[in-house]
Amino acid sequence: MTTDVPQTAAGESRETEGREMHALVERLYPLCRSITGDGLRRTLEIVSGEIPLEISEVPTGTEVLDWTVPREWNIRDAYVKDASGDRVIDFAESNLHVVGYSVPVSATMTLDELRGHLHTLPDQPDLIPYRTSYYAETWGFCLRENTLAAMGPGPYEVKIDSTLADGHLTYGEHVVPGRSTDEVIISCHVCHPSLANDNLAGVAVATRLARRLAESDPHYTYRFVFAPGTIGAITWLARNRERVDRVKHGLVLACAGDSGSLTYKRSRRADAEIDRAVRHVLRSSGREHTVVDFSPYGYDERQYCSPGFNLPVGSLTRTPYAGYPEYHTSGDNPDFVSPEAMADTLETCWEVTRVLEGNRRYLNLSPYGEPQLGRRGLYGSLGGRSDTKQTQMAMLWVLNLSDGEHTLLDIAEQSNLPFATVAEAAQALRGAGLLKE
């Protein structure tokens, strides 16, 4: 049995989009990203080959809200060699092997001396953990527990060829201009090294969503922010403090490619339009999903939703933060994410933008009694459709609640009808002269 593949706004199949997003994940995966440095720049350079990016470089020492832009970290090589010269731990094999922001090291050590700088996962002995030390000058290696168990007493040659020096924090922005200067912000972090779900799947979905929106003549202006986690979002907010009131809706994307069901974390406001739009899309689509309340922990939604800004920004993931065994380990590789899951996340984001774009208030121009729809050709024009009854009900709901106070999203929620059906009914009624915006 075959089924039709749904078509995107650009005429491409979801299957094609999924494959291309996965290919982008695979291309970005080997890069050693951090909150600063050349790996981050190279990541943004590759993304800019998909969508144009405006790159910002913020110097070390710049005050950003309560934080300071740190020194820039770069690494060329790192290893632990045994007496025979074999690399027991090798940065070239996996960039997760080095604790992020490790200072330079060149020493000979016994295993006992080295052990305090080694990090493993005893309960997951075949996986390499991901560890960082951004704001405390130290160093370390991450390795499989099985590798550590096989290591002898030493001595070992220990080398980390890195630099920690004044430089810049880098982030990128892509803007899809709309008819309004009011903005929808889509944000994802680009600071993790070889982790496919957290964070590359979100980067790939955001990139493809931007390409779709560019062909849709949007009402809102859509701003995509690709920035290192925490310090990047804080830096962006600090540099845009006077214009954040333009942000009317927002989503933080992360963990966008695993096989789990979708999870939406509400904004701090809890009932912002973005919260209602995502909840409605998830409910009406029939997708398995979870909606959770805001908490000040997780991804960069906590920066956008900090009380001084309190922006209407929620977070969309599949399996949420720390909710899967491969999280922050070498198990989060390109095989862990799938084209199908990324395509489903993308489609969900697209449907949310359709709600935001189409949500309007209308006024019934024939509010005394039910207007006769048949003589206006509104019933006849729907003949033969499989959803004729649903569309007729949508017209009745739109007419009844178009009092200048209810939005189409209000009507969709109250009627338990899909937003697209309600919006289509409103357009038909408007065309018949029964509604005005």
Residue range 15-33, pLDDT digits in tens: 999 999 999 999 999 999 9
Pair (123, 235) in one structural domain: no
Return the pLDDT at 375. Answer: 83
Question: Residue 223 and residue 210: Cα distance in Å, rounded?
Answer: 9
pLDDT at 387: 62
Confidence check: pLDDT of 337 > 60: yes
Total residues belonging to the chain: 437
Alpha helices in 299-405, H assignment, sequence order: 301-304, 339-358, 388-401
3-state class (DSSP) for residue 247: strand
Strands 54-59 and 168-176 turn out to be: antiparallel
The neighbouring-strand residues paired with 156 are 109
**Which of 392, 335, 337, 403 lies closest to 367 in space, CA to CA?**
403
Is 198 annotated as ligand-binding? Answer: yes
- Mean pLDDT value across residues 307-312: 97
Position 386 scores a pLDDT of: 55
Q: How many CA atoms lie within 13 A of 153 on its CB side?
A: 0
Q: Which tens digit of pLDDT belongs to each residue from 116-145?
A: 999 999 999 999 999 999 999 999 999 999
- Beta-sheet pairing, 183-189 with 247-253: parallel
3-state DSSP call for residue 133?
coil
Query: Are 295 and 406 in a shared domain?
Result: no
C-alpha–C-alpha distance, residues 296 and 303, integer Å: 8
Q: Note whether residue 4 is domain-resident.
A: no
Banded pLDDT at 2 (limits 50, 70, 90) = very low
pLDDT for 159: 98
Considering 136, 165, 194, which residue would you say is the last residue of a domain? Answer: 165
CB atoms within 10 A of CB 62: 14
- Domain annotation covers residue 99: yes
Query: 91 near 260, Cβ under 8 Å?
Result: no
Q: Of 165, 186, 201, which residue is a domain's last?
A: 165
Q: Does the annotation list 174 as a binding residue?
A: no
Q: What is the pLDDT of residues 271-283, one digit of tens each?
A: 999 999 999 999 9
Instruction: Mark which of 341, 358, 375 sits at the end of a domain.
Output: 358
| pLDDT higher than 70, residue 6 | no
231 in the same domain as 158: no
Please say if the pLDDT value at position 5 is more than 50: no
- Residue 109, domain member (yes or no): yes
This prediction's pTM: 0.93
Query: pLDDT confidence of 223, banded at 50, 70, 90?
Result: very high
pLDDT at 380: 57
How crowded is residue 41: how many other Cβ atoms within 10 Å of its Cβ?
A: 18
Write out the E strands in 128-219.
141-142, 156-165, 168-176, 183-189
* Between residues 4 and 193, the one the model is more confident about: 193
Asked whether residue 426 falls in the same domain as residue 314, the answer is no
Q: Are residues 178 and 139 in the same domain?
A: no
Is residue 432 helix, strand or coil?
Answer: coil
Based on the fold, state whether residues 178 and 267 are members of the same structural domain. Answer: yes
Q: Is residue 1 part of a domain?
A: no
Contact between 179 and 122 under an 8 Å Cβ cutoff? The reply is no
Residue 192: domain span: 17-69+168-358
Q: Per-residue pLDDT averaged across 223-237, rounded?
A: 98
Residue 240 in contact with residue 202, Cβ under 8 Å?
Answer: no
The number of distinct structural domains making up the chain is 3
